[in-house]
Amino acid sequence: MLRHAHWWQRRWVRYGALITLLTLSGLVILALVREQTGTEGFLVGLGLAVLPVPLLVAAFRWLDRVEPGPWRNLVFAFAWGACAAALIAIIANSFATRWIATATADPSGADTLGATVIAPIVEESAKAAAVLLVFLFRRRDFTGIVDGVVIAGVTATGFAFTENILYLGTAFGTDQLTGDTGIASVTAATFFVRVIMSPFAHPLFTVLTGIGFGFAALSGERQHLRRVLVPLCGLLLAMGMHALWNGSSSFGEFGFFAVYAAFMVPAFGLLTWLVVWTRQRELRTVREELPAYAAAGWLTPAEPFALGSMRARRLAREYAGRHLGKPAAREVARYEAYATSLAFLRHRGRQGRARADFLVRERELLNELWRRKDVARPALDHAARATAPPVRVAVLPWPVYGGYGYGRGPAHGQGRTAGFGQPAAPVYGAPPVHGTPPGPSYGYGFGYGYPAAHGPANGPANGPGSGPGSGYPAGPYPAPHPHQ
């Protein structure tokens, strides 16, 4: 199919066209901003505008830690916001403002109308284009609300970066003409308002559009009306809040502070709560969906618990890095990402929102997990053991089958309990077997409410690293809690 595809459908052609477009946009926007601010003003604006960028990008990356998307999506989003969207906004806003001033013979009114009506429509539409492109062409990486928030926020961060260079550079040029310096200067006032008080303004507006696309990603393939209307409503809300923010200066002497306190801060707090709640919901989905694969033998019984906790994930990466080096830590991070994607895939399948490539995608994710299991499983079992809360258990004086975490049964969820005491849930679209099939194994519980890691199919395992070829030290391991 790739051999006979048209030349414009080839991946390298599309990537080359996109890189060329962004590069040309960046060169043009650089020339326009430098022409308006001068070389010295451009450098001052650049140095001041770059300060909030690492903090904002790090914040959005932190939100995306449950199922982190590829860096290339974030790089594209930032470049689109800083280059293409900024160029569209400068050209369209200038043209519209001049046309209104000419038509109405009222330059002052044209500036107000351009700031409160034209600019929000043009700028939010230009930024939304990046979210739309990722939604259409990187659909596997766009699975929910958090993905929409992250792509939209990083795009808006790039846009605000270029806009701040322009505003701060122009303010510095004004100070050069008037001789103002220090706190009383226009540069200091502009820096305080745009960088200190409201660095999240543009991301806040565009995040509303991203949330709309996130809800569209959660919709079924046949819900065409919802997939169109919800992102459109998010875009309209973004335009409305942007217009309110730009028009706050015309609401009187304290209009800016009133809008800031009454609308911006509460909206920022509400959206922050929504995103954090969504992230916790994603972790709960991981804990609820992955036990089916543990019961089928693809994962150990402890892994769903560890993969559903951000602290346990971090401990697993640190454990692998401490014993096997940074490459092993990166492999564990990839294992965590693939397992999370697998949980979300199964969740969509159970809700009837699976796409036509469900089985193919499930096979790919299971293969990726199986390739990394020797490195990731001991680290995740260690993390689960370290983060599990102590549970008081009554220990019987005589051995009882199944009483100490023993559990056995045929592989692939056929009547197997996997140590949870419940029949194994069927895996949506039975996973194929590649290489050595997940067979029955015998784990030894440590009293933390779950059995220890599965050993290799041909023998028992007493904990991470005890199986052959894992590369981890064989022990010692901490003793059980005294109340267990």
pLDDT tens for 287-331 read 999 999 999 889 999 999 999 999 999 999 999 999 999 999 999
DSSP conformation class of 472: S
Q: What is the mean pLDDT of residues 56-62?
A: 92
Report the pLDDT value the prediction gives residue 424, as an integer from 0 to 100.
39
Report the pLDDT value the prediction gives residue 398, as an integer from 0 to 100.
63
Report the pLDDT value the prediction gives residue 42, as an integer from 0 to 100.
93
> Residues 335, 342: contact at Cβ < 8 Å?
no
> Residues 326, 456: contact at Cβ < 8 Å?
no
Please tell me which residue, 191 or 447, carries the higher pLDDT value. Answer: 191
Distance between CA atoms of residues 74 and 340, nearest Å: 19
Please tell me which residue, 390 or 92, carries the higher pLDDT value. Answer: 92
Distance between CA atoms of residues 308 and 310, nearest Å: 7
Distance between CA atoms of residues 83 and 161, nearest Å: 10
Q: What is the mean pLDDT of residues 146-164?
A: 94
Report the pLDDT value the prediction gives residue 434, as an integer from 0 to 100.
44
Straight-line distance from the first to the last Cα atom of the chain, in angstroms, rounded to the nearest whole number: 60
Structure tokens at 153: 């926020």
- Asked if the model's pLDDT at residue 105 lies above 60, the reply is yes
Angle between helices 326-350 and 358-387 (to 10 degrees): 120
> Residues 160, 202: contact at Cβ < 8 Å?
yes
CB atoms within 10 A of CB 42: 22
Res. 445 pLDDT band, cuts 50 70 90? very low
> Residues 424, 440: contact at Cβ < 8 Å?
no
Please tell me which residue, 4 or 99, carries the higher pLDDT value. Answer: 99
When the pLDDT of each residue in the chain is averaged and rounded to a whole number, the result is 80
Structure tokens at 332: 């564990």
Query: Which of the residue ranges 261-275, 278-292, 348-362 would you say has the lowest mean pLDDT?
Result: 348-362
Res. 421 pLDDT band, cuts 50 70 90? very low
